[in-house]
Structure formats: C-alpha cells, structure tokens
Structure 1
Amino acid sequence: MTKTFVSPVYGVRAVPLEKIRANAYNPNAVAPPEMRLLEKSIREDGYTMPIVCYHLPDEDIYEIVDGFHRYTVMMTCRDIREREGGCMPVVVIEKDISNLMASTIRHNRARGSHSIDLMVNIVGELVQSGMSDEWIAKNIGMDADELLRLKQISGLASLFADKDFSRAWAVDSHDEKFYVGT
C-alpha cells in the first residue's frame, strides 16, 4: 500500500521561537522598505502564512527553509512576539539537505514580482477613491518617489489633480529663457 502524500500546510504547528533557527544557505535578502512593509503586514494582519521548516529531532530544533524574514519580524518586534505568545506558525517538510536547499530556492523564486501595470492601476484607483499620497505610500509600502513614478507612468493627469506645479522654463530660438504656462 502506498503512502498518501499530505501537503504540509494541513499540519501547522505553533513552535516556540527558541526552537527555531535560520539555515546557513538562504540567498534571499529583503530591502528595508519591503521589510518595513512585512512588519506592518504582520502587525496589522497577523501571520497569514506559516514558515516552512524541517525538524532536527536530535536537537529538537526547527531549521527554516522559507520564512526567515517573517521569523525576523517576530524576533525583532517585541509587541508581535508577545501577541503571538513567543511561537511561530510552522509547517514541516522532510527532505535531505540538498532537497531542502532546492526547496528554499524554489520558495524564494516562485514569489515573482509585481506587475508595474497592475501597480499603476491600483495607485490610480486609490487616488481616484480619495486616498492621499501619504496614505498610499504608508499602506502599500512605497516611498514618495516610487509613488510619483507610478503616477507618471499612468499618464493620467487626474492622478496629479491635487498637486501644485511651478511654472516651467522653455528656450526660445535665441536661447533666452522664458516662462511657459500660467
């Protein structure tokens, strides 16, 4: 009789932080703005995805395959750690070390990236629904320059309706500067 495979997500465990450690081979890095956004997400939405680990029974330690940055948020944010009772939601996979490394890379690379077009649409909808630039930047993890670039890419003048602009310079045929516009 063959064993039926059951996806690890059906066995989420609450594992104390002191029983979890990072692996030594994860090449993934998260830039500070995205790390702040991850922290905000966990603070406001809670942990919505468990971290992935394998269990080392001889040490009774769970080594991280995927989720190091979610783990880091809990390690560095006392309020979140206390709210979660010092435990991380963990799913366990059982593989040999080379397959664990491959799993780490697959998890990292499978996340993909944000489509610029979709982000432009989201920003446009938020602006048109009355959200301020400050609200948008804070709640979707953008700095002011990134938000401005997305608005510029959209080509929609309505996204700039609440902005004051200085008068532009233009060059006439004699290389003398003069103001254009009002």
Structure 2
Amino acid sequence: MSPEENPTFKSPAYEVIPVPIEKIHSNDYNPNHIATPEMILLYQSILNDGYTMPIVCYYLKDSDKYEIVDGFHRYTIMREHQDIYEREKGLLPVVVINKDISHRIASTIRHNRARGTHSIELMQKIVGELIECGKSDEWIMKNIGMDADELLRLKQISGLAALFANKTFSKSWVV
C-alpha cells in the first residue's frame, strides 16, 4: 500500500534509529557516483555539522542487516574515516522503508536524480531489472522520473531485444 493510499502513513524521518555500521551494506542498484572533490566536501560537512540526514535503508530480517536505499556516500564517509566512526561510536542514523525491490530501486533513483548524476550502464541494467520484475514503461517513467525519450534511449543503447518484448510498434514505415 502506498503512502497516498494509507491514511495512517507516517514519514520514516520521524523514526530515526541508530544502527551499527557493521549491520549496514550497500545495494547493487545505485548508479550514483560522486567525484573526489564532492566526497571531500561531504566529509567536511559531516565532520563540521555531523550527520544531518539519516541513511535510508530496507531491513533484511533473515540476515538482521540493513540495505542502503539512499545515503551510500554518507555511509562511505564513516567507513573510510576513523575520526567520524569514533565520534559517532560506529552508529549511523537510519530510517527504514518497507518496500519490495522494485520500489526500493525506484526510491534510490528518485533520491539520486534529485541531486546527483548516474552511470548510463547501471541505469540500463536497472531499467532491464524493472522490466524483468514486470514493471511497465509507464511505471518506470512515473517512479524513477524518466520521460519516454530517455527510457527509449536507454533501451536502445542496451541492445537487449527483451526490453522491447510485448510492445506494439507503428507500421508507419510500411509503403
């Protein structure tokens, strides 16, 4: 059930929990990359201001781990900087969302597109995975903020015929 369909929905930001960094891991569907100067700036921000935004995660009950949906670079700062790790006592502020994999992928993309850049290759893979999950072009465009041309270009450059399966094409080329 989506938040708009749930009258008792409460934003995850109101339920931040401290989670040991050892219980958190990255996902394999994040196409966002930050250049070195921006990572240095992020480190400075966290060093001077602390963690001002929680890491968004999905809780994996079977393994008692948290998979990052958004916040990989904030997580990386703690992992790579002992001073931050010690100051924060190895704990990251986390909010948990409970969504299936296709909605977690869409959440990651929405968070990233609002502020970052994406790897074309990984975006192709993500589109392919969403199509394999049975998501329509309309669902993909709506949920990860793509327009029809961008989605078509990603499908075309991927070269995967399966991405075009079950589609109706115009006969406009017929004489």
TM-score of the aligned structures, taking structure 1 as reference length: 0.60
Aligned partners of 1:112, 1:63: CA distance in 2, in Å?
20
Secondary structure of 2:95's counterpart equals: strand
Alignment of 1:1-182 (within 5 A): 4-111=8-115
Secondary structure of 2:86's counterpart equals: helix
Give the count of matched residue pairs: 112
**Higher RCO (C-alpha under 8 Å, 6+ residues apart):** 2
Question: What is the Cα deviation at residue 112 of structure 1?
Answer: 6.7
- Judged with a 3 Å threshold, the aligned counterparts in structure 2 of structure 1 residues 112 and 49 are, in CA distance, closer, same or farther, namely same
Give the aligned CA root-mean-square deviation in angstroms: 1.4
Same amino acid, percent of matched pairs: 67
Q: Deviations for 1:134-153, whole angstroms, at most 9, x for unmatched residues?
A: xxxxxxxxxxxxxxxxxxxx
Aligned partners of 1:102, 1:74: CA distance in 2, in Å?
25
- Counterpart amino acid of 2:98? E
Q: Deviations for 1:148-167, whole angstroms, at most 9, x for unmatched residues?
A: xxxxxxxxxxxxxxxxxxxx
Q: What residue ranges of structure 2 are gaps of 5+ in the alignment?
A: 1-5, 118-175
Aligned partners of 1:111, 1:10: CA distance in 2, in Å?
22
> What is the match of residue 141 of structure 1?
none
- Judged with a 3 Å threshold, the aligned counterparts in structure 2 of structure 1 residues 67 and 112 are, in CA distance, closer, same or farther, namely closer
Q: What residue ranges of structure 1 are gaps of 5+ in the alignment?
A: 114-182
TM-score of the aligned structures, taking structure 2 as reference length: 0.62
> What is the match of residue 136 of structure 1?
none
Question: What is the Cα deviation at residue 3 of structure 1?
Answer: 5.5
Contact 2:33 2:116 in 1 (8 A): no
- Counterpart amino acid of 1:55? Y
- Counterpart amino acid of 1:62? Y
